[in-house]
Amino acid sequence: MNTTATGGISVQQVTKTFQLKGDDFVALDRVSLDIADNEFVTVVGPSGCGKSTLMNVLAGLEAPTSGRALVAGDDVSGPGPDRGVIFQQYALFPWLTVRKNVEFGLKVAGLGRAERRERAERFIRLVGLEQFADALPKTLSGGMKQRCAIARAYAVDPSILLMDEPFGALDALTRVKLQEQLLDTWSREKRTVLFITHDVDEAVFLAGRVVVMAARPGRIYDVIDVDLPYPRTEEVRLSPEFGDLRNRVWHSVYHQTPSEGRS
């Protein structure tokens, strides 16, 4: 788990406090976590456990109060295209077509028109939206929007994907389908993934490792290795091994012992 030198993530003793009505709210309390290059890690926990804060710190959208967050061995200072972020609310630019959304980061990076188009095309195909390349987001279903957002994040070629409950707003059937598609995309285009969710099944199905967090203060409660083979098929999802792991994570999330010393 010594990963600081590669394209992995290293979170070292990160604390983040917010001022809430004069009180200090500890969103993250000395959180440490190492994620290897191309590892798929899910983070699950009750609301208020700081899982989104952890993601924002790694994305560079929030600075830690203390501690260090390293990506590929470098301290995170502000957002950057080396870390792709996928938001729960899709965050597609509604005035741009699917293609233009996917091209956005490439345009920012100053790529020429032909190259932009070619790269965008490739990732639109990767998520299976080629028929909708010229459609506006408002005409897409929630699942399609999120696939577009995944293509947009991939297009700038980040070494890390940070996903903040990306399927949280979707119905159960679409969610299962997108989980499988995401793993398919990931197996073809390997990246280090930190995937935040509140869905225990989702956490186990996707991950090589599940990080369970606890609230008040936000901290890592448990880390559970998922020794299930990829590709994760329906067979895997319905296997007793999956069930056992799911139960373990479930207990870890829903039957947490309160933290020592703090309320």
Partner 1 sequence: MKTSTTGRARNGPDTDADDAPTAAADSPAAAPASRRRPPKRLILPALNAASIVAGISIWWILALNGFQFPTPPEVVATATELWRDGTLQEDILASLGRVLAGFLLGSAAAIPIGFLMGWYTVGRGLFEPWIQFFRTIPPLALLPLVLVLMGIGETPKIFVIFLAAFLACVISTYQGVVGVDKTLINAARVLGARDGMIFVRVVVPASTPFILVGMRVGLGSAWATLVAAELLAAQAGLGYRMQQAQYYYDIATIFVGIVAIGVLGLLMDRLLLLAESKLTGWQERR
Q: In angstroms, what is the minimal distance from the CB of 104 to partner 1?
A: 6
Residues contacting partner 1: total by CB under 8 A = 40
**Cα gap 145→153, rounded to integer Å:** 12
3-state per-residue secondary structure call for 168-211: CCCCHHHHHHHHHHHHHHHHHCCCEEEEEECCHHHHHHHCCEEE
**Cα gap 89→263, rounded to integer Å:** 32
Q: Which is nearer to partner 1, 158 or 218 (CB)?
A: 158
Please identify which residue in 60, 166, 217, 218 interacts with partner 1, judged by CB under 8 A: 60
Enumerate residues 144-163 that contact partner 1 by CB under 8 A.
144, 152, 156
**Strand duo 9-20 + 66-71: pairing:** antiparallel
Q: Which is nearer to partner 1, 145 or 209 (CB)?
A: 145
Task: State the number of CA atoms in the 13 A half-sphere of 157 facing the CB.
Answer: 7
Under rule CB under 8 A, residue 234 binds partner 1: no
CA distances from 24 to 20, 21, 72 (A): 6, 8, 31
Which of these segments, 14-22, 112-120, 167-175, 185-193, binds partner 1 (CB under 8 A)? 167-175
Q: Which is nearer to partner 1, 142 or 208 (CB)?
A: 142
Q: In angstroms, what is the minimal distance from the CB of 143 to partner 1?
A: 4
DSSP run (H or E) holding 116: helix 113-126
Q: In angstroms, what is the minimal distance from the CB of 240 to partner 1?
A: 29
**Strand duo 160-164 + 192-197: pairing:** parallel
Q: In angstroms, what is the minimal distance from the CB of 74 to partner 1?
A: 16
Structure tokens at 83: 């870390």
Q: Are 223 and 31 in contact (CB under 8 A)?
A: no
Under rule CB under 8 A, residue 2 binds partner 1: no
Structure tokens at 211: 């990080």
Under rule CB under 8 A, residue 112 binds partner 1: no
Please identify which residue in 3, 40, 41, 104 interacts with partner 1, judged by CB under 8 A: 104
Q: In angstroms, what is the minimal distance from the CB of 153 to partner 1?
A: 8
**Cα gap 244→255, rounded to integer Å:** 16
Rg of the chain in Å (alpha carbons): 18
Which of these segments, 21-29, 58-66, 196-204, 215-223, binds partner 1 (CB under 8 A)? 58-66
Please identify which residue in 13, 32, 66, 141 interacts with partner 1, judged by CB under 8 A: 141
Please identify which residue in 21, 138, 188, 255 interacts with partner 1, judged by CB under 8 A: 138
Report the interface residues with partner 1, using CB under 8 A. Answer: 59-61, 79-81, 83-85, 87, 89, 91-96, 104-105, 107-109, 128, 131-132, 136-138, 141-144, 152, 156, 170-171, 173-174, 177-178
